[in-house]
Amino acid sequence: MADDFFRNDPSKGMLYLRDGQRAAKVSEDFIVGMHSGLEEDVGDAANLIMYKCGREWGLRDMKRFNDRMRHEFGGGKLDIWQMNPQFVFETWWWPLTIQGWGAWTLDVSFHQRGIVFAEIRNSAVAYSMQRVGKPVCHLYAGMFAGVMSYFERTQREAIEVQCYSMGNDCCKFMIGPEKQVNAAEFWRQEGATAEEIRNKVG
Ligand SMILES: [Zn+2]
């Protein structure tokens, strides 16, 4: 099945996604090394750097994805924000599951308020790292912020409200306006669970 999503060019030593974008296959050690190396260099600022990398990735990936969706499903006219969000995000994410980023579910019941919740099982970051008792999937949080900013065409931020790395069975994220995301971060630091945070914003 992976052959449907990747194309190898052994003569150049390159790996591509189906639409021609270059890709790299990395091990868990690579993910650990990237995070711990960055943390050694810049301390806690590493979290923000991973978040910003994720955000940029999300924005670019959505732009690429929107071009494809407009062509394939939108008759060359409709953009993704004019399509059903559940359909859009499921179509976007499932190749990422094949690529090893984990399975996700999206909860759009608070979408009217600009807030969505996402749940990731088998986060590639959290499964690589030790259980450190705090969220580690800043790359994912940033990616969701970028993705939703593009989709909503306004600034969105994201926060991981629970993580596999904290001993939970999966990672949960809240994506929304900066004010609500900051409030959620405050509650999380005060010890609120993902469910409590969801109830507070809901
Ligand atoms: Zn996590």
* Distance from the alpha carbon of residue 67 to the mean position of ligand 1, in angstroms: 30
Residue ranges making up the domain that contains 134: 27-201
- Number of separate domains in the chain: 1
Tens of pLDDT, residue by residue over 29-48, are: 888 888 888 889 988 889 99
* Distance from the alpha carbon of residue 193 to the mean position of ligand 1, in angstroms: 14
Using alpha carbons only, what angle is made at residue 57 by residues 48 and 92, rounded to the nearest 5 degrees? 130
Asked if residue 103 is part of any domain, the answer here is yes
Asked if residue 75 is part of any domain, the answer here is yes
CATH of the domain at 192: 3.30.1380.20
Mean pLDDT of 121-149: 92
Determine the pLDDT at residue 2: 63
Asked if residue 19 is part of any domain, the answer here is no
Angstrom distance (rounded) from CA 70 to CA 178? 29
The DSSP symbol for 25 reads: -
Asked if residue 12 is part of any domain, the answer here is no
Most confident of 91-105, 107-121, 153-167: 153-167
Asked if residue 35 is part of any domain, the answer here is yes
Asked if residue 179 is part of any domain, the answer here is yes
* Distance from the alpha carbon of residue 49 to the mean position of ligand 1, in angstroms: 16
Asked if residue 93 is part of any domain, the answer here is yes
Asked if residue 183 is part of any domain, the answer here is yes
Give the pairing type, strands 22-23 and 157-162. unpaired
Tens of pLDDT, residue by residue over 142-188, are: 999 999 999 999 999 999 999 999 999 999 999 999 999 999 999 99
